[in-house]
Structure 1
Amino acid sequence: MSSVAVFTTPPASTASTVAPATDEAPRYRVSVRALCEFTAKVGDLDLRFTPTPTAQEGIAGHAIVAARRGEHYQSEVALAAEHGSLHVRGRADGYDPQQQLLEEVKTYRGQLSSQPENHRQLHWAQLRVYGHLMCEKLDLPQIRLALVYFEIGSQQETRFEETRPRDELASLFASQCQRFADWAEQELAHRAARDTALQTLAFPHGEFRAGQRQLAEAVFRAHRSRRCLLAQAPTGIGKTLGTLFPALKAAPEQRLDKILFLAAKTPGRQLALDAATTLKNRDGQGLPLRVLELCARDKACQYPDRLCRGDSCPLAQGFYDRLPAARSACLEAALLDRQRLQEIALAHQVCPYYLGSEMTRWSDLIVGDYNYWFDGGAMLHAMAQAHEWRVSVLADEAHNLVARARSMYSAQLSRAGLRAARAVAPPAVARPLQQLARAWTTATKGADLPYQVLEAPPARLVDALSNCIATLNDYLAQVAVPLEPALRDFHFDAMAFVRLAESFGPHSLFDLTRHDQRDNLLCIRNVVPAPFLGPRFAFAQSTTLFSATLAPWHYFADLLGMPPSTAWIDVDSPFHASQLQVRVAREISTTWQRRAASIDPICALMAQQYRQQPGNYLAFFSSFDYLQQARDALNRQHPDIPTWQQSPRMAEAERDAFLARFTCGGQGIGFAVLGGSFGEGVDLPGERLIGAFVATLGLPQFNPVNEQLRERMQTLFGAGYDYTYLYPGLQKVVQAAGRVIRTETDQGTVWLIDQRFARPEVQALLPGWWQVEQG
């Protein structure tokens, strides 16, 4: 049976890139920051002045500066003006009416003397636009302007001042707007054409698949009521198109600027790109939809041994001078997938990764990994906030999001890594690293157990790490060569650790793992991502998390921090119990204590099933060691049965070769690890796969870390065992078994090998359309 929550409609929001339709011509809304970034950025791509302070540090820095001013000082002054089809708006950092002084405050770390000149030019351009807006608002003949740089570490201010007459600022503002006007007119025309086309867009395949319409309707209702949706939908109904199509249909009414399709793995991104291509090419009409694929920086980088600076990388040199031509070429592309984006970037000699970042501003559908929205430093989330985008988020295979989010908000430091960093550190950073080593020794003194949870990251250790980071940032600003790998990796790890130490709370553990007397590992280990992800769900107009395994819904809602108004739907399966024979091997125990004794019975069961119905099977085990033991035994006892196996860290070509063995008419058993790359996202319809053996419940390993997790889950949610072991394990089982039935004509068999599968509480977590038989 399907289950759908009741939807209600909250009040509408007014934030939008394109102003709502009125009797007057539509206006293009642009922030002061976006206007100046488009018109005033010139020269090299230069990241020597990064990493920038965290958002919390920036907010705190602005507050400190404002607190130092007089009682008449005004902070965050809203300003706006219109020029032709443009509506320009923004917030000036501070204004002193007694001095008629307008301030733009920029927080930073390191040496101000290392700031690239084009950064300073951009900041002045922004301040002068604010100066014009303030003159118009207050009818001032002239205004004093101050560019204030606030160093986070020392809390020192550096000021640059000038006085500009109103007429001169008005002229500068008009010049900026005129340079942006043609682009804005083009964007207005594109948005109007896009929304008109989406309003009349028909489903590309004429008829929905069974269950697909039910999913699409739930997604559309969630968008109309601006709510989050958890959608459990079986494999094979076309979830990608079933979520993307209704989101696009809702875009005009909800005035969505962007739809973000996020996937856990590369195959999920490709499915989204294929669905977008299908929609764009329907009936040859050419849907005016700009589609962009984002990929990781290390995969896009053409010069991984260079710094992102004009004096180091040729694709960074003159980046902003060549960007306009590359940007225009991108808009001519039918689809900006990774390959096409790289081709355009190299043709114009600009960095592919940062060209992709630029094109997020001008794309309608953005396809990428979870981290682009949910990570602490997520690019898309930061840009959506800065530009006030109205976004819809679609997250595919969302059962992965709990583990991925925990990883995003965890960080670790190893003593061995610190030693390696010190061994290659230049003299300029040697002393802070030495001080850190002493703080580390003090912090871990008396912690002699192999694993233990400590109260919180010690302040002295965090201060020492911050000092190391600041020193390394200063050093990087002055050199044109990358850090040695060991020092670079420690730098990144230290920054992540300090960021999470600032927000440490009950949602995380601070633990120490001791390898020996000399080596230990410090970890801030997130266990509940909810405090970090909750604001992401609140910001988006609608977020849909969908997967074949999202039960029980409260597990995901609790851990991910979804709003109380979140809707839940369990889409009817198009499959029938007669298609899949699900049997429980209740005489076999696969617990750790009985694992060795389980090998022979498992081999006998697999051989019996194979001889009854020869064909292609997958056999899933909880570890590579268990897998190897079972395969070796089967080869000895039944050498006539062909077998092949997954190996650790398989390359893409090896994974393809593994799957290529599953041919129509083929026979044999492929051995794989439960929860690995062949346990989900693998499509082997028809005779390519006729059965699966799943040995064990897939429960996470019993170890001190998971036991601490269980205790925290019990304290927070009263369901420690279920949230730590049972639910994650059964999700892997259902995903693995889901490889067998992919279409409405498939037939197959699944063996659940463990006596615990016979328990009612376990079977309650299996798909409702399964009819489980006792073996």
Structure 2
Amino acid sequence: MNKDCIDAKLSVRSLVEFVYRYGDLNNEFVSSNSAIEGTKIHKTVQKEYEQEHKEKNEVFSKEVPIKDTFNYKNLNIYLEGRIDGVISKDNYGEILEIKSTSRDMLSIEAYNELHIAQAKIYGYMYSKLYNLKDILIRIIYVNRDTLQSKDFVESFSIDSLYDFFYSTIEKYYKFLILDYNFKKLRDSSIKDLTFPFKEYRPHQRELSVTVYKTIQHNKKLFLEAPTGIGKTISTLFPSIKALGEKLGNRIFYLTAKGSTKDIAEKTITLLREQNLKIKTLTLTAKEKICFQETANCDPNLCKFAKGHYDRANKAILDIITNEENINKDIVCQYANKHNVCPFEISLDLISYCDLIICDYNYVFDMKVSLKTYFNEKKNENIILVDEAHNLVERARDMYSSSLLKSEFLNLKKLIKNEDYSLYKKLDKVNNVMIEIRKYNEETNFYIFEKVPPDLIKYLGIVFDGMAIYLAKDNIKFKDNVLDLYFKVNDFLKIYDIFDENYICYSERAGSELNINLFCINPSSALKTPFKNAISTILFSATLSPMNYYKELLSFEDGDYNMTLPSPFNINNREVIIANDVSTKYAKRQSNYNRACTYIDNVLNSKKGNYMVFFPSYQYMKDIYKIMTEEFSYTNILLQESSMTENARLEFLNKFNENNVVGFCVLGGVFAEGIDLKGDKLIGSIIVGVGLPKISLRQNLIKNHFDNTKGVGFHYAYTFPGINKVIQAAGRVIRNDTDKGIIFLIDERFSTELYQSLFPKHFFPQKIINNPSSAKNIIKNFFI
């Protein structure tokens, strides 16, 4: 074997599926149980062949592992796979490829090109290994429901298989060599890459070294670093260095909001100016990148879905040959050029990119996660989780599920005259829910000690029934059935990981019943995606209290945590607490005028741009009414509950002007991830301690952590609230020269509890109980 060759490790299946894929993208139904059903059918067929050839004195072997090394041009190709079945006797060999299908056997007139290609690759490898001159290949199709089968048998010579094998490798070679050559350039540029600034900011070098060591040791790092440290460059730079040292294959930079995607992209642009060669891909949600008004992959309705796979590989080759910074605009440009689906092409491009910038759900959400890149066998990714404080609530949502009784009742009525068997199965689930609803007769909600077993039993039955119905041709109400199918599938998947960190409860509203599997502590659910990465860096400006986030985000023995102080001069900000105002719900209205007087005094102390943050939209609107009617303000911008991207940009662009006041909601889109430097923002006024709205779910969290840790109220309300406050306060001081005030209005801010929760850069403070004092302090501060 040539030692100067490039090493490439491939599976037979991935090679064949990439080179020989063809035809349309489609939205045809594929049962989530098809893999399980396929395995059962494989075992059934294998058992039959075992018995048959035992009687013939021939050897039948099932699930035969095969691997070999091949040299092609300057490649060493390590190829491996598993053959469904092999019949061998003397110089005779037969390869079996078993495929389960929902199609009727009469409709299958020839084998699928992908299936025969895979079998021919196996045939060549087996013939080469055992010096066979020719080999028989048998493709067996088996209907999942009827178990009827059809065989296609063909004999191939070793010479013809040799030609087919190397023509396949040639088709893949251009992708491999292009990827290899770029990675060679990448690694060389990484070796020469230096930190893009003349000097490190305080603690920045320490942070970068810690990130690198965390990756080196395959651990997680929980990092709290206030604004100004340079978290993005301090995590990306050492991660890229780790790629150059072969400590990982690619980086996933995960974000919760679009604004942090932009920051990551700008940081990479900065490194490219230092001659870094790196391929980056920013993933955009299907709904936002689709060329159609609604994302529908029906090839009869979408020209980009029609014949997508016939053109996909040419599109990929074009992009990776010519582009390094692959964002939404670039993907759409090439998708239009090659007439392919932009979303599907962007997913294919992951294999050829070094840094993928995307939302949390691509890694953590079981419904949409990139399972091809995150599994135990392919543990090669470094994960960077930006604004990691958001992961707690996002993970709770991703790992929770619920079902409505009405969904089964409505579908039952629709389907009755179409499929009586499915109708009966839906009726059974509906009846089970009627029985469950009886638990809710005295109260609107009921907490179960365990998930009702009858519910799971009959959900499984109706799930299989819907799968059978959806596999049929020309069915009515397909979208209705498919929608409920996916909801039940999600519910059953969550049930599979249901443990002591979950609560099952029901809610009743009239005849409606909602069954919930609520993930209270996502730590156990997050272990699998973390385990399937080389290393994970979770970072935020607000990861306090650190133990709270370590508890909920799956900190394990050996993992690291780090808390850094603010790098900015404390004399450039003034923290003031007005401790004679209560924003508690019972006292809220009686304190409105007092809160407005403080706000008015602050705004008139120093003319400039301010943001005022409120605990809710209603509170904000009430104060807005008083400020505009009684205090005669005309320069207040009001955050709307649902704003388009353009509306958000328009809101922020107003801060390029003078004397603008933005009324916003704590925890909303303007409370984090925005960057208004210099005079664009000189003050952040925060009304209230940011407690989440009292709700059943928050109280369930409270009760759970009361029982397990004795600090339920803090886990459900206090800690999420203070995080919102610190995030909102962080909008003011964005660089070394910024100067501004943080004005906190609530009597609780001066209590021992909240004082202990504030970060170090919130001290020293001035605590006041007179609005006129605010004016004097602020005037003196800005002198």
> Normalising to structure 1: TM-score of the pair?
0.88
Q: Supply the distance in 2 between the matched residues of 1:174 and 1:326 (Cα, whole angstroms).
A: 23
Structure 2 contact 686–744 (Cα < 8 Å) conserved: yes
Change (3 A) 1:530 1:194: same
1:83 to 54, 71, 82: 71
Q: Supply the distance in 2 between the matched residues of 1:647 and 1:525 (Cα, whole angstroms).
A: 29
**The residue matched to 1:368 in structure 2 has which SS?**
strand
Q: Supply the distance in 2 between the matched residues of 1:412 and 1:229 (Cα, whole angstroms).
A: 33
Q: Supply the distance in 1 between the matched residues of 2:562 and 2:265 (Cα, whole angstroms).
A: 25
Change (3 A) 1:425 1:353: farther
Residue in structure 2 matched with residue 773 of structure 1 by the alignment: 766
Residue in structure 2 matched with residue 176 of structure 1 by the alignment: 168
Structure 2 contact 382–535 (Cα < 8 Å) conserved: yes
Residue in structure 2 matched with residue 621 of structure 1 by the alignment: 614
Q: Supply the distance in 1 between the matched residues of 2:151 and 2:269 (Cα, whole angstroms).
A: 51
Equivalent residue letter for 2:667: G
**The residue matched to 1:587 in structure 2 has which SS?**
coil
Matches within 5 A, 1:732-771: 732-771=724-763
Equivalent residue letter for 1:350: V
- Contiguous gaps of at least 5 residues in structure 2: 52-59, 769-783
Q: Supply the distance in 2 between the matched residues of 1:292 and 1:118 (Cα, whole angstroms).
A: 39
Matches within 5 A, 1:171-210: 171-210=163-202
Which stretch shows the higher mean deviation, 344-353 or 614-623? 614-623
- Contiguous gaps of at least 5 residues in structure 1: 1-18
**The residue matched to 2:358 in structure 1 has which SS?**
strand
Structure 1 contact 28–188 (Cα < 8 Å) conserved: no
Residue in structure 2 matched with residue 128 of structure 1 by the alignment: 120
Change (3 A) 1:693 1:158: farther
Residue in structure 1 matched with residue 19 of structure 2 by the alignment: 39
What is the CA distance between 1:273 and its match in structure 2? 1.7
What is the CA distance between 1:94 and its match in structure 2? 4.4
Change (3 A) 1:470 1:684: same
Equivalent residue letter for 2:117: A
Structure 1 contact 589–755 (Cα < 8 Å) conserved: yes
Which stretch shows the higher mean deviation, 433-442 or 535-544? 433-442
**The residue matched to 2:760 in structure 1 has which SS?**
coil
What is the CA distance between 1:397 and its match in structure 2? 0.8
Q: Confirm whether residue 452 of structure 1 aligns to residue 467 of structure 2.
A: no
Equivalent residue letter for 1:83: N
Q: Supply the distance in 2 between the matched residues of 1:713 and 1:145 (Cα, whole angstroms).
A: 60
Q: Supply the distance in 2 between the matched residues of 1:571 and 1:457 (Cα, whole angstroms).
A: 43
Change (3 A) 1:459 1:600: same
What is the CA distance between 1:272 and its match in structure 2? 1.5
Matches within 5 A, 1:227-238: 227-238=219-230
Q: Confirm whether residue 601 of structure 1 aligns to residue 601 of structure 2.
A: no
Structure 1 contact 43–317 (Cα < 8 Å) conserved: yes
Structure 1 contact 534–562 (Cα < 8 Å) conserved: no
Q: Supply the distance in 1 between the matched residues of 2:746 and 2:610 (Cα, whole angstroms).
A: 18
What is the CA distance between 1:578 and its match in structure 2? 1.7
Q: Supply the distance in 2 between the matched residues of 1:584 and 1:117 (Cα, whole angstroms).
A: 79
Equivalent residue letter for 2:629: R
Query: CA RMSD of the aligned region, Å?
Result: 3.4
* Deviation readout 1:559-616 (Å, 9 max, x if unpaired): 2224322211223321132222112222222222222222122112112222222322
Q: Confirm whether residue 490 of structure 1 aligns to residue 484 of structure 2.
A: yes
Residue in structure 2 matched with residue 27 of structure 1 by the alignment: 7
**The residue matched to 1:178 in structure 2 has which SS?**
helix
Q: Supply the distance in 1 between the matched residues of 2:610 and 2:36 (Cα, whole angstroms).
A: 52
What is the CA distance between 1:261 and its match in structure 2? 1.1
Number of residues paired by the alignment? 748
* Deviation readout 1:151-175 (Å, 9 max, x if unpaired): 88x6958574646556144443222
1:380 to 370, 377, 384: 370
Q: Supply the distance in 1 between the matched residues of 2:94 and 2:285 (Cα, whole angstroms).
A: 43
Change (3 A) 1:147 1:234: farther
Structure 1 contact 424–487 (Cα < 8 Å) conserved: no
Structure 2 contact 137–156 (Cα < 8 Å) conserved: no
Q: Supply the distance in 2 between the matched residues of 1:398 and 1:214 (Cα, whole angstroms).
A: 20
1:341 to 331, 344, 352: 331
Which stretch shows the higher mean deviation, 560-569 or 617-626? 560-569
Q: Supply the distance in 1 between the matched residues of 2:238 and 2:165 (Cα, whole angstroms).
A: 41
Structure 1 contact 224–254 (Cα < 8 Å) conserved: no
Residue in structure 2 matched with residue 303 of structure 1 by the alignment: 292
Change (3 A) 1:155 1:489: same
**The residue matched to 1:736 in structure 2 has which SS?**
helix
Q: Confirm whether residue 730 of structure 1 aligns to residue 722 of structure 2.
A: yes
Change (3 A) 1:652 1:421: farther
Matches within 5 A, 1:686-701: 686-701=678-693
Matches within 5 A, 1:144-543: 158=149, 160=151, 162=153, 164-165=155-156, 167=158, 168-282=160-274, 285=275, 287-303=276-292, 307-331=296-320, 332-385=322-375, 388=378, 390-419=380-409, 421=411, 427-428=417-418, 432-433=422-423, 435-443=425-433, 444-448=436-440, 449-473=443-467, 476-477=470-471, 489-516=483-510, 518-543=511-536
Change (3 A) 1:655 1:424: farther
Structure 1 contact 92–103 (Cα < 8 Å) conserved: no
**The residue matched to 2:241 in structure 1 has which SS?**
helix
Which one has more relative contact order, counting CA pairs under 8 Å at least 6 apart?
Answer: 1
2:551 to 558, 563, 588: 558
Compare CA radii of gyration and give the structure with the larger one. Answer: 2
Structure 1 contact 306–312 (Cα < 8 Å) conserved: no
Equivalent residue letter for 1:736: A
**The residue matched to 2:761 in structure 1 has which SS?**
coil
2:30 to 50, 55, 58: 50
How many percent identity over aligned positions?
Answer: 27
> Normalising to structure 2: TM-score of the pair?
0.87
Structure 2 contact 7–78 (Cα < 8 Å) conserved: no
What is the CA distance between 1:341 and its match in structure 2? 0.3
